[in-house]
Amino acid sequence: MTNSGLWVGILTALTALGASYITARATSHAALAQARTTTMAEALSEQRARRRSAYREMMNCAHAFNEVVWQIDDVDAARDREVKDQLLTQMYERIGPAIGSMNKATHEVRLDGPHEVSAAAEQVRQMARRVQPLLKALIGDEGPERRRDYDAGYLNFRDAYVTFIHLARQALEVGDDEE
């Protein structure tokens, strides 16, 4: 009987050791999974913050561009051709730096993605660049054709900008679906 008591003690000890080992492994795996989850959540949060900043800068640049092109209303209100041309010249001088800032912001969006938002930012930039020569063509022009071209160019810019905003918002909301 003493012998079987010894065996029961040994089996109990081995069972306890086995259970302890399994518990330790499970605890280790759980801690590792939690660490990975925390790291991933932090990385996604940082990515979202970078994207939000880049998108905001792009939107600020688009707004600065809009502030220039919206001055067309002042041009329309001017009665004298000389005043109109002076206002158009001022707009043209201001539109270049606004597009330059937009170029830089577009590059930032490209770095942070995702691809769809990067492509939309590039489209906004390209449409803004197309408005610039259309604005210059209005200086000294009396006919309605170039003004229609300018208006159409601006509407293309605006449509691209609205698309960018939609995609940027989507990217910030989803965040987990990476390219």
Looking from the CA of 172 toward its CB, the CA atoms found within 13 Å total: 15
pLDDT, one tens digit per residue, over 21-54 is 788 888 888 888 888 888 888 888 888 899 999 9
In a domain, 45, yes or no: no
Q: What angle do CA 165, 40, 48 make, to 5 degrees?
A: 20
Smallest Cα–Cα separation from 72: which of 161, 155, 162?
Answer: 155
d(CA 103, CA 62): 10
What is the residue whose two structure tokens read 């809009």?
66
d(CA 169, CA 153): 25
Statement: residue 177 has pLDDT above 60:
no
Q: Between 88 and 14, where is the model more confident?
A: 88
In a domain, 22, yes or no: no
In a domain, 2, yes or no: no
Statement: residue 96 has pLDDT above 90:
yes
Range of the domain at 71: 50-174
What CATH code is carried by the domain that includes residue 140?
A: 1.20.120
Domain count, the chain: 1
